[in-house]
Structure 1
Amino acid sequence: ARTAALAKARAAAAQKVARDKARTSAVAAAQADPRSAARAMLADHGWGESQWRCLNLLWEGESAWKHTAENSSSGAYGIPQSLPASKMAKFGADYRTNPITQITWGLWYIEQSYGSPCGAWEFWNDRYPHWY
């Protein structure tokens, strides 16, 4: 019984290491290419390719897709320019460094507030200075 328990514990530890490596790899990929990550995540909200153009333009205008972008006057942070930045902690404590956490929060915020990326883009364009 002890040997079986030890083997089970080792297997669980190995699985955790594998998950951690996969997560680290996914975060690094999203840091290098956040657009691809966001584009893949649109379907999680039931949005098709038609919403991609709006999201791309919106977040290009907000942060140039930089996960470390910070507005020097307002303090808005990240790809979706969350204000305050800590709102993104709803989806992960790593919101300052993980574009996937930022994108997850940003897409949730857009859906809750505007219904779709194109709804948010339209709202953003109707205001100057731009915000959504």
Structure 2
Amino acid sequence: MSRISVRGFAVASATAVTAVGSVVGVASGSVAQNNDAEATASGTTLLADIPAGQQAQVQTASLTQQAETMAIAADASAKKDAEEAARKAAAETAVAKKQEAAEKAAKAEKEAKERAEAKAAASRSAVRDASDIAVQSSYSVADVQAIARQLVPADQFQCFSNIVDHESSWNYRADNPTSDAYGLVQALPGSKMASAGADWMTNPATQIKWGLGYMNDRYGSPCGAWNFWQANNWY
């Protein structure tokens, strides 16, 4: 038997008593109006026809049945409310998790971008300043390449070297007779390199400093410049 509340039982009891009272009242009124008529139809049992010792049991059974019906309805309503609350909570949790995942992804993307930018900036920067390189009266190809390795980031050196190979074959005094291009990176005109140092005509370190800055500013890096050079045969 389902458990019912005191309030539910009271309501059920009141309903049952009212129903029984109505039946008895109608039956009594009918007898008063027509003493010759039969009190009930065949097969119908009035509460008064039930032995006094069993009336309480009948009333209790009726009240119990009504109380159980009400309890079942209340349980169904409570279950429906609980299911709706659970669905709502699950939806809110899903939205919160999705938002959290989006925030984490955005943060990770931002951090990755910052790391990439920092790495690129470090790559574009010279390992040493040109002014740190001792000045000589003349330089061999090996000397110039050694200087370049000190000034150009290691991961960009090969690209830088490829360009210099094609432009001047590592001759820091290379002078193009058909233009004003000059030096290792064939700056056009060569006087542009004065921004890196007044000794741009004779100091390969000054030329390398200027060339590295040019490649970084125009193409992002020596490798960016080399990619462009391969596609166009100039940079």
TM-score w.r.t. the length of structure 2 is: 0.41
**Aligned positions, number:** 102
Gaps of 5+ in 1: 1-22
Do structure 1's residue 107 and structure 2's residue 212 form an aligned pair?
yes
- Give, in whole Å, the separation in 1 of the partners of 2:231 and 2:137: 33
Deviation at 1:63, TM superposition (A): 0.5
Q: Which amino acid aligns with 1:131?
A: W
Deviation at 1:30, TM superposition (A): 7.7
* Contact persistence 1:30–1:99 (CA under 8 A): no
The aligned residue for residue 41 of structure 1 is 151
Deviation at 1:107, TM superposition (A): 0.5
Secondary structure of the residue aligned to 1:101 is helix
* Contact persistence 1:30–1:100 (CA under 8 A): no
Deviation at 1:31, TM superposition (A): 2.1
Deviation at 1:91, TM superposition (A): 1.2
- Give, in whole Å, the separation in 1 of the partners of 2:226 and 2:201: 24
- Give, in whole Å, the separation in 1 of the partners of 2:147 and 2:207: 11
1:4-56 Cα offsets, whole Å, 9 max, x none, are: xxxxxxxxxxxxxxxxxxx8x822288221111111112xxxx3x22111111
| TM-aligned CA distance change 1:131 to 1:81, over 3 Å | same
Q: Percent identity?
A: 47
Equivalent of residue 62 in structure 1, options 167, 189, 203: 167
Q: Which has the higher contact order (CA 8 A, sep 6+)?
A: 1
Gaps of 5+ in 2: 1-130
Secondary structure of the residue aligned to 1:126 is helix
Q: Which amino acid aligns with 1:75?
A: D
Q: Provide runs of 4+ in structure 1 moved above 6 Å.
A: none
Greater displacement, 49-58 / 82-91: 49-58
Larger radius of gyration: 2
Do structure 1's residue 95 and structure 2's residue 205 form an aligned pair?
no
- Give, in whole Å, the separation in 2 of the partners of 1:35 and 1:76: 20
Secondary structure of the residue aligned to 2:213 is helix
Q: CA RMSD in A?
A: 1.9
TM-score w.r.t. the length of structure 1 is: 0.71
Q: Which amino acid aligns with 2:200?
A: Y
The aligned residue for residue 156 of structure 2 is 51
- Give, in whole Å, the separation in 1 of the partners of 2:169 and 2:156: 18
| TM-aligned CA distance change 1:59 to 1:110, over 3 Å | same
Equivalent of residue 83 in structure 1, options 188, 195, 198: 188
* Contact persistence 1:30–1:37 (CA under 8 A): no
1:85-111 Cα offsets, whole Å, 9 max, x none, are: 110000111111111111110001011
